[in-house]
Amino acid sequence: MKAAVLVFPGSNCDRDLAVAFRAAGFETQMIWHKDAALPAGIDIVGVPGGFSYGDYLRCGAIAAQSPIMQAVGAHAARGGYVLGICNGFQVLCETRILPGALMRNAGLKFVCRPQKLRVETTDSLFTNGYAQGAEITIPIAHHDGNYVADPETLAQLTAEDRVAFRYLGNPNGAVDDIAGVLSANRRVLGLMPHPERAMEPAHGSADGAVMFQSLAQALVAA
């Protein structure tokens, strides 16, 4: 059961994400963005939060063109698991692995606080440890988390039950209160909130740990 955590210049949640994977039992390696291939046998790739390439041009735009993201695209295309958090979600949208885009927060301010979310689907390895409709608390910390997608894409996401989490009290103007979305094969999750920052009661919430534990349970059995 192996995880890879990508590291871009400007990533700052990469080590927290590795700690979270390891706590759940994943053998975890850090992978530099200039590597053109993932190590053999990787089950899940973590694309961490931070400010890859200083958010130049657009958040995640430069990272999306890095050699390792080609390999991540191929990993996703052959059914591999990918978890993109915050800047990682932005990178996954920029590579078009996930639909939509993340714009500047409607209030123009960086928001950093515990955020209540509702679990919208339990039909994924990321979310099947939660109860359907459960209200959980996961920290957010972003300036560009305002999810947008065209009406056709939104209709498709809803029809295919691919909205993983919605905000309770929208912090950034995201359309339909969307906080996280799944790929069509339900094996790629991108979300703005930081589950790796909610791993134990001392963090203020352990609701994020559920995600890593349910991934670990499913992947160890696979």
Partner 1 sequence: MKATVTVMLKSGVLDPQGEAVKSALGSLGFDGVAGVRQGKVIELDLAQGTTQADVTAMCEKLLANTVIESYRVEMHP
Helices (H) and strands (E) in the chain — how many of each? 5, 11
- 63 vs 210 by CB, closer to partner 1: 63
- 106 vs 131 by CB, closer to partner 1: 106
Active-site residue, 86 included = yes
Rounded to a whole number of angstroms, the minimum distance from the CB of residue 104 to partner 1 is: 5
- 43 vs 94 by CB, closer to partner 1: 94
d(CA 73, CA 13): 21
Choose the catalytic residue: 13, 59, 75, 196. 196
Active-site residue, 112 included = no
Rounded to a whole number of angstroms, the minimum distance from the CB of residue 64 to partner 1 is: 8
Contact footprint for partner 1 (CB under 8 A)? 57-58, 61, 65, 93-94, 99-101, 103-108, 146, 148-150, 173
In what order do the strands lie in the sheet containing 111-119?
A: 27-32, 2-7, 44-47, 81-85, 188-191, 178-182, 163-167, 111-119, 135-142
* Strand extents, DSSP E, 68-149: 81-85, 101-103, 111-119, 135-142, 146-148
* Residue 1, amino acid: M
- 58 vs 116 by CB, closer to partner 1: 58
Active-site residue, 75 included = no
Rounded to a whole number of angstroms, the minimum distance from the CB of residue 142 to partner 1 is: 14
Rounded to a whole number of angstroms, the minimum distance from the CB of residue 128 to partner 1 is: 29
- Rounded to an integer, what is the distance from CA 206 to the centroid of its chain? 17
- 103 vs 168 by CB, closer to partner 1: 103
Rounded to a whole number of angstroms, the minimum distance from the CB of residue 95 to partner 1 is: 11
Choose the catalytic residue: 75, 86, 94, 142. 86
- 97 DSSP assignment: S
- 11 DSSP assignment: B
Closest residue by Cα to residue 22 from 218, 207, 199, 156? 199
Neighbours of 213 (CB within 10 A): 17
Q: What are the residue numbers of the active site?
A: 86, 194, 196
